[in-house]
Every structure is written in structure tokens, then in C-alpha cells.
Amino acid sequence: MLAGMEQAPFTIETSAAGVSHLQLCRPERLNTLDPAFFPALRDAVADLNAAGRTRALVISSTGKHFSAGMALEVFASNLAMLDTGSARARLAFQDSLRQLMRCFDVLAEVRFPVIAAVQGGCIGGALDLAAACDIRVCSADAFFTVQEIHIGMAADLGVLQRLPKIVPAGLAHEMAYTGDRIGAERALAAGLVNAVLPDAGALLAHALALAGRIAEKSPLAVAGSKLALQYAADHGTAESLQQMTLLQSAIFDIGEMATAIAAWQGKRTAEFAPLHEVPKP
């Protein structure tokens, strides 16, 4: 666990190979996302990014469900934030909501890939979290649901914006309008997850192994690939190709390539320097 995070609803460990593992650890509460969770997640992931040692991050959970989503106390303890009764209140509401959104935006913005390992239910806000990750894998008992529609609100932390870029539009609309549970096999067929594993143990082993294979690659090339993929998701091909010319000119490193090629030809694991730390303002 990171220093100073004893009360956080998750633990974090980073291996010598650069694989970080963030694990939700409140199974007795179905790993619901309480008010403290959001800034804790944002800050912890940002700290991993700033340190430069992490090459891939796995987010997993404990107990029966990945997460039952937003805890009711998020609403009960933030009644002032939920007030939309005046123009000033609505302006404050918008700012507060955007701050919550940024707590999941960080998963897309960091320099390393993020893998969500989902067992059991991935419900409501937990699906917003998973959708912000680069890769999702799940256990055979997993299911995914846009829970917010059941309580009379539109999901608002990113799933409605990200889901149509992950699964076919028709399925994204069905999930958003009905809140129906999408099981593991349908999630796999639709591309929501990359693999279905038999149980939680096999799921975590698979996710960590996948992260390990990513961590063996040049962290510079992986970070550049993520930047290109994220940009292309929101821009046309011509714009994305132009961005790629600038991006490649910034990250092209002949020495890094020589190291990678020599290791590939020698059928061994290359040793790459970590990314630089990001200075804090």
C-alpha cells in the first residue's frame, strides 16, 4: 500500500518489472465507490504516472463483485452538490460533476496501459471506471450494467461517451436505455472484454500476465502507442495521421529500437530505462 493511503479503499503494489496492481479491498461493501474513492483513485494513479516506474496497471477487486457502483452516501452526503434549483447552483453542479469525471479520465491520460480485471458485477459507476481502461478482461460470472437508468438518471461519468467506441452502437444504446445485464460471453462477442476466464483466480493471473507482457516492451513505444490510440478515438484518420507525424518525431529513439531488436533477435527480454519522473508543480 502506498504511504499515507492506509484508509484508501484499495491497495497498490508495483513489481520490479513495473507492473502495478491496484486492488479494491472492501468486499463486505461490494466494493461500492464512496466519496473518498474518487480522489483517492485519481491521486494514486497520477502518482504512479509521475513516478515513471509503472509500465502497466491492473485494476482488480476482491469478493463476489468487482464493484456494485456508486455508494448511496455519494448522494446523501453531497446534497448541496446535487442542487440544480438556480443558475448558480447549476453552474456549481457542472463543476463538481466535471471534477468527478476527471477521477476516471486519469486512467485514459496516464502514460501506461490500464487493464480492468472484472469478476462478478461491474455495476453503474464501476462500468464507467472499466470503460476508461485500455483493456478489460473478466471471469465467467461477470456481468456489466448501466445501473443509473434504474434510479432515474443518465450515467454521467463517461460510460455513455466511451462505450459506443468499444462496442457496437446498438448494444451501447440497449445497455444505456434498459440497464440490462450483459454477461461475460456476450461482452466477449461484442468486444467489451478481451478474454473470459473461468474464475477470479485465473482472471487475475491472466491480467497480470498480460500486463507483464506489456511491461517487457519499450515504455516509450507503449506510451506513444497509447497517445496515438487515444487521439484517434476522438479524431478522424487525416487528423490522427498528422498527429502521428508529430508524435513519432518526438518519441523516435534509435537506441531504444536497437535494444528492442537485439533482444527480439536473441529471444530474450530487453532491459529498458523507465520513463522520466514527471515533476510536480
- Per-residue pLDDT at 209: 98
Residues of the chain above pLDDT 90, percent: 88
| Res. 3: pLDDT tops 50 | no
pLDDT(8) > 90: no
Per-residue pLDDT tens over the stretch 107-139: 999 999 999 999 999 999 999 999 999 999 999
Judge whether residue 145 has pLDDT over 70. Answer: yes
For position 217, what pLDDT does the model report? 97
DSSP string, 174-225: HHHHH---EEHHHHHHHTS-S-EESSHHHHHHHHHHHHHHHHTS-HHHHHHH
Condensed to tens digits (0 to 9), the pLDDT of residues 174-201 reads 999 999 999 999 999 999 999 999 999 9
- Coil, strand or helix at 274: coil
pLDDT averaged over every residue in the chain: 94
Q: What Rg, from alpha-carbon coordinates, does the chain have? A: 19
Check if the beta carbon of residue 93 is closer than 8 Å to that of residue 100: no
130 grid coordinates: 472499466
C-alpha 111/C-alpha 115 separation (Å) is: 13
239-251: pLDDT as tens digits: 999 999 999 999 9
Q: What is the pLDDT of residue 241?
A: 97
Which carries the bigger pLDDT value, residue 103 or residue 280?
Answer: 103
Residue 251 and residue 243: Cα distance in Å, rounded?
12
pTM of the entire predicted model = 0.94
Q: What tens digit of pLDDT does each residue of 202-215 get? A: 999 999 999 999 99
> What does the alpha-carbon distance between residue 59 and residue 131 come to, in Å, rounded to a whole number?
12
Nearest residue to 219 (alpha-carbon basis) of 135, 276, 265 = 276
pLDDT, tens digit (0-9, with 9 covering 90-100), for 13-71: 999 999 999 999 999 999 999 989 999 999 999 999 999 999 999 999 999 999 999 98
Per-residue cell: 56: 502497466
Burial class (CB in 10 A: 0-12, 13-18, 19+), 195: middle
Classify residue 164 by burial, with Cβ atoms within 10 Å: 0-12, 13-18, 19+.
middle
Quote the pLDDT of residue 82. 78
